[in-house]
């Protein structure tokens, strides 16, 4: 019986994270810290006996940059999922900051 292993990875620290913004589907770059985080995860995975057979990635910049930094240890092409990861357009909300007061 084959065992399915699933690894879900969130993007590294992005510029929006650094600015405490709700990013939604905005396509913001990774910070230098985010690039290091993703690269280190790629190194960690490369030293395990668990090479990925499939990689799916949102088309957003922070996700593709995370995959690119991780991928140095994998040497595998990612399959982009156009339209996935951006299922709703919440771009009007990207100006909101996570530290704003909540009303409800």
60 assigned to some structural domain: yes
Per-residue pLDDT tens for 82-103?
Answer: 655 555 555 555 555 556 565 5
Return the axis-axis angle of helices 32-46 and 61-70, rounded to nearest 10°: 40
90 assigned to some structural domain: no
48 assigned to some structural domain: yes
35 assigned to some structural domain: yes
SS3 84: coil
20 assigned to some structural domain: no
Percent of the chain exceeding pLDDT 70 equals 68
80 assigned to some structural domain: yes
Segments forming the whole domain that contains residue 38: 29-85
Say how many domains are in the chain.
Answer: 1
Contact 58, 86 (CB under 8 A): yes
* Confidence (pLDDT) at 62: 92
* Confidence (pLDDT) at 32: 96
Beta strands in the chain (DSSP E): 56-57, 79-80
SS3 95: helix
Per-residue pLDDT tens for 31-79?
Answer: 999 999 999 998 888 888 777 777 888 888 999 899 888 886 666 656 5
19 assigned to some structural domain: no
Distance CA 95, CA 21 (A): 7
11 assigned to some structural domain: no
């Amino acid at each position: 019986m084959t065992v399915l292993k699933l690894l879900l990875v969130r993007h590294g620290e992005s510029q929006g994270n650094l600015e405490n913004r709700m990013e939604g589907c905005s396509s913001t770059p990774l910070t230098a810290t985010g690039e290091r985080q993703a690269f280190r995860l790629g190194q960690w995975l490369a030293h395990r006996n668990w090479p990925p057979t499939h990689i799916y990635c949102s088309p957003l910049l922070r996700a593709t940059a995370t995959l690119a930094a991780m991928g140095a240890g994998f040497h595998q092409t990612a399959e982009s999922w156009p339209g996935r990861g951006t299922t709703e357009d919440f771009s009007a909300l990207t100006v909101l900051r996570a530290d704003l007061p909540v009303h409800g």
